[in-house]
Amino acid sequence: MTGAALEVDLTSSVPPFEQIRRQVSEHIAAGRLEPGERLPTIRDLAADLGIAPGTVARAYRELEAAGLVSTRRRTGTSVAPGAVAPHAAPRRAARHLVTLARASGMPDDEILDLVRDALTPPGTTAP
Amino acid sequence: MAASPLVVVLVVAALAIALAIRALSATRGDRTDLAEAPSSEAARAAHRHATRVRRVAWATLVATGWATLQVTGAMAGLAQGRLLGLAPIAAGIAFVLVHAIGDLTWPRPTGAVRRASLARRTVTDVTPAPAYRLTVAWGVALTVTLVACGAVSGNGRDIARAYDGGTSGAGPFPGWFYGAPLLLAALVLLAAVHGLVVLVARRAAVAGAPDRWDLELRRHSARAVLGGAQLVLGLTLAAVLMVAGSAVRSVGSSTGSTISGELVDTGDPLYTSIGISLVVLALAIALISLVVAMRTPHAARTPALAPA
C-alpha cells in the first residue's frame, strides 16, 4: 500500500481540484506513485476529503489529459505507464535504504552520513 | 435412491463444519492492538460511533428474533412453521440494516484542511477472510440443504419412504413449502452483507488517524457484521438440519405396517443413520456458530485509542 497522501485546504485561493491535481503530479514526479499504481476511486477520495465527487473527477480528468493517469472501466484510475518519474530506480533504492536503516535502529543523521560516505570517492576525505 | 440428496447434504454440512473449525482457529489472535492509536477528536467520534452501532445492532438482532418468535407463538397452522424458520434470518437482516445506517451516518470530515491517503481501498482489504469464508460456507451449505430437501420432499412439507405395499411418511420436513422463503431470505441476507462490506470500504476515512488504524477500524466493522450474519445463517442451517434429520430418522425407524397379518415394513437403517447424522451435524453447527458469535464482540471491539 502506498504511503502517499494529499491535503486539501478549503480556505486556500487555489481551487480544491487544482490542489489535488498538483499534489498527485508531485507524488508521481517524486516516484512516490509508480506507473500502474491504482489511485482511490473518485467516490472514496471525495468521501475521505469531504468534498464533492465532481471536484475529484475534474482533478482526475486533468491528470488524464496531461498523460499522468489513465482510467479504465474495470480497473479505475491508475498512474499511466508512461508517467515515469526521473531517476525512478535510485529514488526507489533510496527509500528502500531508509526503510532498512530505520528498521535496524539507525538514526536519520547517521543515514545521511552513510549516504555522504557513499558519495565520497574512494581515497578522498569526506568534507 | 430417494435418500441420495440427503447424503450430499451430509457431505456439504460436514465440509462446512471443517471450514468453520479452520476459520475459528484462524480468527484466534486475529485482534490487532495498534501501537499508533490516535487521539484526535475525529478518531474519538469514529470510535464512539462504531461502538454504539455495534451495540445497537446486536440488541436489534436479539429484539427482532424475540419479537418474531412472539408473533410466531400467536399464530397457528402451517404459516407458523414458515415464520418460525425465518426468525433468525429476519433478525440478521435487521442487524445488517442497523450497521448500514451506522455506516451511512459515519462522521464526515470537518475542518478547513482535509487529508486523504492515496492508497486504494478494496473490499478485500476490509474483509477478514476467515469470517467471510465462514459466512459464505453456512450460506452455501444452507442453499444445498434446502435444494436437496426440496428434491426429496414430495409435497414440500414432509418426506416419504416407499416399501413393498405402502409408504411411510414423516413431517415437518423442510421441503419447498418451508425452504423456498427461507432460501430467498438467506440470499437477501448474503446480498445485504456483501453490500454492507462495500459500504464499510467506501465510508470516509477517520480524519487524523493513521491509515493502519483506519483500516483496522473498517475490518472490525466488517468482522462485527459477519459475526452476526454467520450466527443467523448457522442457526438457520442447524434448525433446517435438525428438522430434516428428525423427520428422516422417524421415517427410517417406523415399523409395524402389516398386510394380511404379515409385517411388510421393517424400517430402513439407512434413513435412520442419515437422520441421526443430520441431527448430530445440526448440533455441531449450532454450537460452532454460537461460539464464533460469542467471540465476535471481543474480536470486533474497536481498536484502541490513545489517552486524551
- Angstrom distance (rounded) from CA B84 to CA B103: 30
Q: What are phi and psi of A72, to 5 degrees?
A: -125, 150
User: Are the C-beta atoms of B103 and B221 separated by less than 8 Å?
Assistant: yes
Query: B108, A44: Cβ pair inside 8 Å?
Result: no
Give the chain A residue nearest B119 (alpha carbons). Answer: A2
DSSP code string of B86-134: HHHHHHHHHHHHHHHHHHHTPPPP-SSEEEEE-SPP-HHHHS-HHHHHH
All residues at 6 or more sequence positions from B238 whose CB lies less than 8 Å from its CB, including other chains:
B282, B283, B285, B286, B289
The residue in chain A having the minimum alpha-carbon distance to the alpha carbon of residue B215 is A1
Q: Which residues contact B187 (CB under 8 A, 6 or more apart)?
A: B143
The amino acid at residue B273 is S
CA distance B37 to chain A (A): 18
- Per-residue buried b or exposed e for B237-257, using 16+ beta carbons within 10 Å of the residue's own CB: bbbbbbbbbbbbbbbbbbeee
Please answer yes or no on whether A3 and B112 come within 8 Å at the CB atom. Answer: no
Residue among B140, B102, B88, B14 nearest B293 (CA): B88
Q: How far apart are CA A88 and CA A94, in angstroms?
A: 10
3-state secondary structure of A8: strand
pLDDT of residue B45: 86
Question: What are B179's strand-pairing partners?
Answer: none
* Low-confidence residues of chain B: pLDDT under 50: 29-30, 32-35
Q: Which of A2, A7, A41 is facing B115, going by the closest CB pair?
A: A7
How remote is the C-alpha of B32 from its chain's centroid? Answer: 25
Contact criterion met (CB below 8 Å) for B170 and B144: no
Number of other CB atoms surrounding residue B74 within 10 Å: 7
DSSP state of B1: -
**pLDDT of amino acid B190:** 95
The grid cell for A87 is 531517476
Query: Of B40, B93, B12, B16, which Cα lies nearest the Cα of B308?
Result: B40
What whole-number distance in Å separates Cα of residue B241 and Cα of residue B238? Answer: 5
> Which among A48, A60, A69, A71 is the top mutation candidate for probing chain B, defined by the most B β-carbons within 10 Å of its own β-carbon?
A48
**Cβ–Cβ < 8 Å for B278, B248:** yes
Instruction: Say whether A70 sits in a helix, a strand or coil.
Output: strand
pLDDT for B232: 94
Question: In sequence order, what are the beta bridge partners of B163?
Answer: B166
CB A17 within 8 A of CB A56: yes
What cell does A98 get? 531508509
Which residues of B lie closer than 8 Å to A, measured between beta carbons? Answer: 108-110, 112-121, 201-205, 211
Task: Tell me which chain B residues have a C-beta less than 8 angstroms from the C-beta of A7.
Answer: 113-115
Whether the Cβ atoms of residue B258 and residue B285 lie closer than 8 Å to each other: no
Distance CA A69, CA B276 (A): 62
Which residues, including other chains, have CB under 8 Å from residue B286's CB and lie 6 or more apart? Answer: B234, B235, B238, B239
The 10s digit of each residue's pLDDT in A49-90 is: 999 999 999 999 999 998 899 998 888 899 998 776 666 677
Contacts of B110 in chain A (CB under 8 A): 50
Task: Using an 8 Å CB-CB cutoff, list chain A residues near B213.
Answer: none
Strands (E), chain B: 113-117, 159-163, 166-170, 258-259, 262-263
Which strand (E) or helix (H) includes residue A79?
strand A76-79
State whether A8 and B120 contact (CB < 8 Å).
Answer: no
Whole-prediction pTM value?
0.79
CA B93 to chain centre: 10
| Closest CA of chain A from B209, distance in Å | 12
Residues of A with CB under 8 A from a CB of B: 1-11, 24, 27, 33, 38-41, 43-45, 47-51, 76
Residue A120: what pLDDT? 83
CB contacts < 8 A, A to B, total 72
Q: Which residues contact B64 (CB under 8 A, 6 or more apart)?
A: B90, B91, B94, B95
| ipTM value | 0.71
CA dihedral B62, B64, B70, B71 (to 10 degrees): -170
B113/A8 touch (CB, cutoff 8 Å), yes or no = yes
Decide if pLDDT at A39 tops 50. yes
